[in-house]
Amino acid sequence: MKYEFSKKEMEEIHIKIGQNVKKYREKMGITQLELSLEMGNKSVSLISAAELYTNKKHFNIEHLYKIAKILDISVSTFFEDI
């Protein structure tokens, strides 16, 4: 059996992950710029776009791993409510 993944389903997952990243980043009192710099980026473009799923930009597993380490939470936290 081959499972069919709809584009809408995948977009909703990326949106929810972005919302969860934003929620925990803000809960820890860290700005997008601070998080971005800690991850080794020079601007907030990735963080701001992926949190809002702007232009279909989303976090990959490496991003999520780094963010989880920086925020001192489990990567699985970003998958809440999915």
Asked whether residue 1 is domain-assigned, the answer is no
Provide the pLDDT confidence category of residue 17 given band limits of 50, 70 and 90: very high
Q: Which residue range(s) make up the domain with 39?
A: 7-79
What gap in Å lies between CA 60 and CA 45, rounded to an integer? 15
Total tally of structural domains belonging to the chain: 1
pLDDT given at position 81 = 92
Please give the model's pTM, rounded to 2 decimal places: 0.92
Give pLDDT tens digits for 19-65. Answer: 999 999 999 999 999 999 999 999 999 999 999 999 999 999 999 99
> Roughly what angle, to the nearest 10 degrees, separates helices 61-71 and 7-27?
20
List the CATH number of the domain containing 59: 1.10.260.40
